[in-house]
Chain A
Amino acid sequence: MDYEQAVALYHEDLHRFALSLARNPDDARDLTQEAYCRLLTKSGQVRDQTKVKSWLFTTLYRVFLGWKRHEQRFPHIELSGVENEIAMLTPETVEKMDSAVVMAALSQIDEHHRTPLVLFYLRSLSYREISGLLDIPTGTVMSRLSRAKAALRASLTARDPAADATNVIPLPPQRPPFSKSS
């Protein structure tokens, strides 16, 4: 795989991932460019060419964390009060929604939960790779994913005037990561 292929194959999903992290298009572009710049300048680190994709995702995420440490560039917004609720949205309702509305709801979820959720939907990385990227056990990835899904659905139900506000059922308490993969 050469650089052009790496751009052609991965830049769209990387940009989507970056947008979900940064929550604004300018920073998403910067993050994507920085990841590819590092691929050009530090390609020696990618010894296994089959790992280019996960290397790019991991690098982009590390760059984001580095930026975040130094600035208030990405204000942290905690979503509270919805973690233990799951709304009765249907796939058809979601399909009718504007993607910008879904992205806005997604951006309201705190980063610890938003990141695994976006990686889940992008389907670009395996759970082992996501676990490595986030530096947490696979079970923790799944726990966060579960809570993030609930938060996203609850947030969208709150936005959707057609949704019946009483159609909310409680989720079971948050589970610990299951031991097999932790």
Chain B
Amino acid sequence: MNREEARFILQAYRPDTEDAHDPQFAEALALARQDPVLAQWFANEQAMDAAFAAKLRARPIPADLKPELLLARSTIARRAGWRRPLWLAAAASILLLLALGGWRLRSVRTEVQLGDYRLAMTRAALDKTEHVEAYGMDASELKQWLTEHRGHPDFVLPPKLAEHDVLGCKIVEWRGHRVTLLCLKFDGGHVDIFVAAVADMPDFKLGPTPQYAVVGGLTTATWQHEGKVYHLAGNFSAERLKALL
């Protein structure tokens, strides 16, 4: 191995990591110990790497990222059974059955389904590539489009929400059921309202009072009204969304 070959290998070396035990670095490190010119270059390279790594780590992490990630767990973690041994999950299930009866399991399943729906709709709301399929329509064109695409043209929005212009719409699917997405202009940005048939989601047990949750960084509100499930999602505070409902 000559000096140039050693440099090529050593430029990839990271001290205090697994690299120290990686045999591919051993020969180059040995050469650096014997060659003062190479040793000087290597010391400078390490200092440069440390300086760049520090700059990369100096970028602030959004303070609300961690709470958001932990909140995501509350919506879907029960389904995941994360890191829980199978026997423990089975034992817990039996205990639940004995202690609480089947109604409790149904309640958990309902909660998981609603969380799953919220998450799926949040993903649709965050989809910036094909956020809507049709746009620039007036009210009658919108209803016609929704009828033709087997959406929900008979939606009824809360009065304050209905004051905002519809930017566009599309049909998304959840577990084989069609859900209408309406994108409304709001406060310099937009909010998305998802409309689905209660008959397609009979287990949700929602009422007319919106249930609020933060999912994937978006504030959401979900409620039921006249045979429809409504789910509002936007990158706004809960207070701002409440003002719309």
Contacts and interface: CB of A to CB of B under 8 A. Distances in A.
Interface string A126-153: 1100000000001001100110010011
Given A33-B217, A91-B50, A95-B51, A16 B66 contact: no
Q: Which of B14, B19, B69 has the most CB atoms of chain A within a 10 A radius of its CB?
A: B69
Interface residues of A, number: 60
A8 to B, nearest CB: 7
A3 B59 contact: no
Contacts of B18: 126-127
Given A37-B119, A37-B216, A1 B83 contact: yes
Contacts of A100: 59
Interface in A1-42: 1-4, 7-8, 11-12, 15-16, 19-20, 25, 29-30, 32-33, 36-37, 39-42
Interface residues on B, range: 35 or more
Contact of A91 (B14, B48, B119): B48
Contact of A102 (B52, B61, B76): B52
Interface of A: 1-4, 7-8, 11-12, 15-16, 19-20, 25, 29-30, 32-33, 36-37, 39-43, 49, 67, 70-71, 73, 89-91, 94-95, 97, 99-100, 102-103, 106, 118, 120-123, 126-127, 138, 141-142, 145-146, 149, 152-153, 172, 175, 178, 180-181
B199 interface: no
12 contacts: A11-B66, A30-B216, A33-B217, A36-B69, A70-B129, A99-B55, A102-B56, A103-B55, A126-B22, A142-B8, A152-B52, A175-B8
